[in-house]
Amino acid sequence: MADTRRVPPTRSSLLASGALGAVLLAVAACGAEGAGAECTLLGSSPGVSVAVRPPDAPRVASASLRVCWDGTCREPELGLGNSSTSVPLGCEGEEPDAACAASASPDEGKIGFAVVEGLPKAPVQVTLKLRDGGGRVLVDRSLDVTPKATFPNGPDCAEGGPQVALTVADGTVTAA
Tell me: the pLDDT tens digits for 101-155?
999 999 999 999 999 999 999 999 999 999 999 999 999 999 999 999 999 999 9
Q: Is 121 helix (H, G, I), strand (E, B) or coil?
A: coil
Asked if residue 31 is part of any domain, the answer here is: no
Q: Domain range for residue 70?
A: 47-175
CB 33 within 8 A of CB 158: yes
Q: Is the pLDDT of residue 159 over 60?
A: yes
Asked if residue 140 is part of any domain, the answer here is: yes
Q: Is the pLDDT of residue 6 over 50?
A: no
Could you tell me the CATH number of the domain that includes residue 69? Answer: 2.60.40
Q: Please tell me the distance from the alpha carbon of residue 75 to that of residue 96, in angstroms, as a whole number.
A: 46
The domain tally of the chain equals 1
pTM: 0.72
Asked if residue 76 is part of any domain, the answer here is: yes
Sign, Cα dihedral of 36, 41, 47, 49: negative
Q: Please tell me the distance from the alpha carbon of residue 79 to that of residue 143, in angstroms, as a whole number.
A: 20
Asked if residue 136 is part of any domain, the answer here is: yes
Asked if residue 18 is part of any domain, the answer here is: no
CB 175 within 8 A of CB 124: no
Of 14 and 40, the one with more pLDDT:
40
Asked if residue 102 is part of any domain, the answer here is: yes
